[in-house]
Amino acid sequence: MMLSVWLPVLALMTSLLAAVVIFALPEQGYRLRTAVNLGAALVKLGLVVVMVWGVFRGVDYGVSFTMAPGVAFVLKADALSMMFAGLSAVLWLLTTVYAVGYLEDSPNRSRFFGFFSLCVASTMGIALAGNLFTFFLFYEMLTLSTYPLVVHRGTEQALKAGRTYLIYTLTGGAVLLLAIAWLQGVAGDLPFREGGHFTENDPALHTSLIGIFVLLVAGLGVKAAVFPLHGWLPQAMVAPAPVSALLHAVAVVKAGAFGIVRVVYNIYGVEASSVLGVLEPLAWLAAFTILYGSVRALWQVDLKRLLAFSTVSQVSYIILGICLFGPVGAAGGLVHLLHQGIMKITLFFCAGNYAETLGIHRLDEMDGAGRRMPATSFAFTVGAFGMIGAPPLAGFITKWTMGTGALDAGMDWVIAVLVLSSLLNAAYFLPILHRLWFRDPPRQWPHERRWGRLETSAWLYWPTLVTAVVTILAGVLASLPFSPLSWAELIVLREYSP
């Protein structure tokens, strides 16, 4: 069927074309640009929804052609890719709305939205990539298109952060490239396949496979901000809030985590990975990162930096989840891919709202903000409790599923990690909530702006609330079909019984 070939391409192209159009539009074309942005986001969301439905029914979407000798460019939609694609499509729409409001009256909007769309295109490509080579292609494209967003403000600090970002990600990319090339040399061009490729592998290959795995994880771990490769993330928080929200909550760090999922599931296969003995060390590393990120977050005074360290911690849940040898734990890790995204984007939206409306950037300025901005603070509260893992929010579903999975797999120590991490999360989020709701507001906010009836601009107000409500619903309605959890279970089902 032609549609099955064209849908993934179209999904990729909508944001790519949007980028081109936006670059071509004049800086003053505010309405037209917004229309293009929103239109493309909606079209893409529609395409993704169609594809999700198709994948659910078992339709194969895919397109491939030979790009260079021995390697092919492959786009393919499977359950896992639709998970990531769906996440980025939904959040792209919300973040676009948010960004339109956030960047109102600021310079360089054409540039911003152009690269923004490029980023989303890269994310889409990462989601739909059908082999490591294609994955790498979009992975690097993501690096490049994010840089202009990180340095968007053009201040010395932003440029410095941009440099750190590049040093980390490009080096990571180089390592990843080496790993992919090596793998290609050992085993040829491997498409992503449920169940992996090395189920009955040759013992002679073990050493190189382990070496490749280490390199792959190191390369992907940079973007996933796994300790000790996380240094760029807190610095990158100088970017405007929508960037931090979409890119550092969703696109960039998730790209790394998603890549690791791909490697473990669709290249090596869970069986082979555990035979090689690479999952257990990775699990320990992820566990350490979870705790490390939380501990560092305790000492932060800047809200966005705190959220960055929280991201460091949370993304490793995904990695830890897939290292749990068993379907339940894997579902827990995968579902966190979505949950963490939606929760963290809520928090970043809120941080942006505070900064834009009241000029608040530091924690000690947040006293009493709940009175001035109840809806935003409500969203923040929901996001924070989600991060802590308080039921019935999305984060709880993750923790519960992962915990059950860990016990199934006989890795009881994971429970301790989960509990400890929740405690640490509570230790840095609850004081903020206390400040928000139970302290008296200052007489004068650092830099207050007013928008008519709502507490902040409607462009900022509604996306924040929507993500907060989704955070609640993702938890409360976890057992509905097409909920994140059900989708993760579908993926796992297909992975474990290919």
Partner 1 sequence: MPPEALAAVVAVCLPLLYPAMALLPSTRARVMRFALPLLPLPALLLAVFSDPGWQLDMPWLLNGGLWAMDELRRLFLLLTAVLWAVAGLYAVGYLKADHLRRFCVCWGLTLAGNIGLTLAVDIASFYSFFALMTFAGYGLIVHEGSGEALRAGRVYLVMAVFGEMAILAGLLLASAAADSQMLADLPAAIAAAPQKNLVIGLLVAGFGVKAGLPLLHFWLPLAHPVAPTPASAVLSGAMIKAGLLGWLVTLPFGEAALPGWGALMVVAGAVAALGAALLGVCQRRPKTVLAYSSISQMGLMVLMVGGALADPGRAAVLFPVIALYTLHHGLAKGSLFLSAGVSMPTAAGARAVTWLLIALPGLSLAGLPFTSGALAKLAMKEGLSADKLDFALSGYLSPLMTAGAVATLLLVLRYLWTLARTQKTGRNPPALAAGWLAATGMSLVAFWWMPWQVDGLVKAPVWLPKMYQLWALLWPMLVAFILAAGALLVSRSVKKR
Partner 2 sequence: MTLWLMAGLLFTPLAWAVLTLLTDFRWGRWVTSFGILVQVLVSLGLWLTIARDGGFYYGLGGWDAPLGIELRVDGLAVTFVLLTAVVASACGWHAGVYIDPDKAWHRYFWPLFWFLWSGLNAVWLGGDLFNLYVGLELISLSAVGLVALGGKAAALRASLRYLLAALLGSLAYLLGVALLYGQFGSLSIAGVATLLADNPAPAGSGLALALMVTGLSLKTALFPLHQWLPPAHGIAKSPVSALLSALVVKASFYIAARLWLEFGATIGSFAAAQLVGLLGSAAVVWGSWLAFRQQQLKQVVAYSSVAQIGYLFLLFPLTYSVSEAVSLQAQQGITLQVISHGLAKAAMFLAAGNLILSVGSGRIEALAGVSRFLPFSLFSFGLAGVSLMSLPPTGGFTAKWLLLQASLGSGQWWWVAVLLAGGLLSAAYVFRIYRASFLERPETDRFYHPPRSLEVIPLILALLSLGLGLASEQVLSVMALPFEEAGAP
In the complex, which residues of this chain contact partner 1 (CB under 8 A)? 374-375, 385, 389-392, 396-397, 399-400, 403-404, 407-408, 415-416, 418-419, 422-423, 426, 430, 434, 437-438, 440, 475-480
Q: Which of residues 126 and 335 has its CB atom nearest to partner 2 in the complex?
A: 126
Q: Binding to partner 2 (CB under 8 A): which residues in 336-375?
A: none
Q: Tell me which of 4, 64, 164, 171 binds partner 2, using CB under 8 A.
A: 171
9 binds, among partner 2, partner 1, none (CB under 5 to 8 A by kind): none
Q: How many residues are listed for the chain in this entry?
A: 498
* Rounded least distance, CB 468 to partner 2, Å: 33
DSSP 278-301: -HHHHHHHHHHHHHHHHHHHHT--
Q: Tell me which of 9, 181, 218, 469 binds partner 2, using CB under 8 A.
A: 181
Q: Which of residues 168 and 380 has its CB atom nearest to partner 2 in the complex?
A: 168
CA distances from 463 to 99, 348, 361 (A): 10, 11, 20
105-113, 196-204, 364-372, 436-444 -> range binding partner 2 (CB under 8 A): 105-113
Q: Tell me which of 182, 288, 451, 496 binds partner 2, using CB under 8 A.
A: 182
| Angle at 398 (CA atoms; ends 481, 400), nearest 5 degrees | 100
Q: Binding to partner 2 (CB under 8 A): which residues in 111-170?
A: 111, 133, 136-138, 140-141, 143-144, 147-148, 151-156, 158-159, 162-163, 166, 170
Rounded Cα distance between 407 and 467, Å, is 31
DSSP 211-229: HHHHHHHHHHHHHHT-TTS
Rounded Cα distance between 203 and 185, Å, is 17
Is residue 104 involved in binding partner 2 (CB under 8 A)?
no
Q: Which of residues 267 and 315 has its CB atom nearest to partner 2 in the complex?
A: 267
CA distances from 392 to 172, 383, 388 (A): 37, 12, 11
* Rounded least distance, CB 164 to partner 2, Å: 12
* Rounded least distance, CB 249 to partner 1, Å: 24
279 binds, among partner 2, partner 1, none (CB under 5 to 8 A by kind): none
Q: Which of residues 218 and 476 has its CB atom nearest to partner 1 in the complex?
A: 476
Q: Binding to partner 2 (CB under 8 A): which residues in 69-88?
A: 69-71, 73
369 binds, among partner 2, partner 1, none (CB under 5 to 8 A by kind): none
**Residues paired with 293 in a beta bridge:** none
Residue with tokens 């601009």: 457
Q: Which among 385, 377, 410, 414 has a CA at the least distance from the CA of 475?
A: 385
208 binds, among partner 1, partner 2, none (CB under 5 to 8 A by kind): none
Q: Amino acid identity, residue 287? A: A
Tokens representing 414 are 């994971």
* Rounded least distance, CB 280 to partner 1, Å: 20
404 binds, among partner 2, partner 1, none (CB under 5 to 8 A by kind): partner 1
CA atoms within 13 A on the CB side of 390: 14
312 binds, among partner 2, partner 1, none (CB under 5 to 8 A by kind): none
Tokens representing 308 are 């960055």
Q: Which of residues 38 and 454 has its CB atom nearest to partner 1 in the complex?
A: 454
482 secondary structure, DSSP code: T
CA distances from 331 to 25, 286, 395 (A): 43, 16, 13
Residue with tokens 């690096």: 143
| Angle at 222 (CA atoms; ends 218, 225), nearest 5 degrees | 120
* R_g of the chain computed on alpha carbons: 21
Residues at the site binding partner 2, with contacts judged by CB under 8 A: 23, 27, 65-71, 73, 107-108, 110-111, 133, 136-138, 140-141, 143-144, 147-148, 151-156, 158-159, 162-163, 166, 170-171, 173-175, 177-178, 181-182, 184-185
